[in-house]
Amino acid sequence: MGLGRWMALNRDVRQGRYGEIFVRAISTAAGLTVQKIEEDDHMVDLHIGHPGPRGSLLNPKIDVQVKSSRRVRSTSTHVSYGLKSKYYNVFAEPADRFSLPIFLVVVVVPEVADDWMGVTEEQLTLRRAAYWTCLHGQPLRRELDKDTEVKVSVPRENLLTKDALLRMFDVAEDLRMQGRGVPVQ
């Protein structure tokens, strides 16, 4: 069989993997541990852990669902993403229903896949940005069909950086201490 018969991964699969790698790269740079969840049955892609003490816990962890998109609506203050209601309704449940809080990370990728990254001898550049939010405690939308999109508006100030990832652990600590969900920030 000639090499011409081999096909690259389809764009959606590549884009999803790129989003996860984007989050993994930032997590690793922040000194955190990352585990890929192979089965997406529980709507979680990654477990991210903080080695050692953080807040009142030793070795705390958070769950992350990564969504990537070429097309998001954005304003000067927010990025909006259409999340299927089957995901939204799970993420909006109160945090005390879960052993680990779930965070949504939306990775915005360039339209053209060849622009996703650049490599030189000096640097690897992953292009565009990721934004995070926690939906625990938001109003449920059970009246919607599972594939109907719910607009999730994420503040641009929730840009995913090394420091922002550490802040996510603080939000998780607050959720744990309150025993309930908190509004989207």
Number of domains in the chain: 1
161-180 pLDDT, tens digit each: 999 999 999 998 888 777 55
For residue 164, the one-letter residue type is: A
Instruction: List the domain range (segments joined by +) for residue 58.
Output: 3-178
CATH assignment at residue 154: 3.40.1350.10
Q: Which pair of structure tokens corresponds to residue 105?
A: 């990370």
User: Does residue 118 lie in a domain region?
Assistant: yes
Pairwise CA distance, residues 122 & 55, whole Å? 36
User: Does residue 138 lie in a domain region?
Assistant: yes
96-142 pLDDT, tens digit each: 888 888 999 999 988 777 777 788 899 887 778 999 999 998 999 98
User: Does residue 185 lie in a domain region?
Assistant: no
Instruction: Please work out, in degrees rounded to the nearest 5, the angle formed at the alpha carbon of residue 103 by the alpha carbons of 148 and 46.
Output: 100
Look up the pTM and report it: 0.87
Mean per-residue pLDDT for 54-79? 89
Q: Which pLDDT score, from 0 to 100, does residue 183 have?
A: 38
H helix runs in the chain, sequence order: 11-29, 85-91, 162-178
Q: Which pLDDT score, from 0 to 100, does residue 124 have?
A: 81
Q: Which pair of structure tokens corresponds to residue 97?
A: 């229903």
User: Does residue 183 lie in a domain region?
Assistant: no
Q: Which pLDDT score, from 0 to 100, does residue 46 have?
A: 94
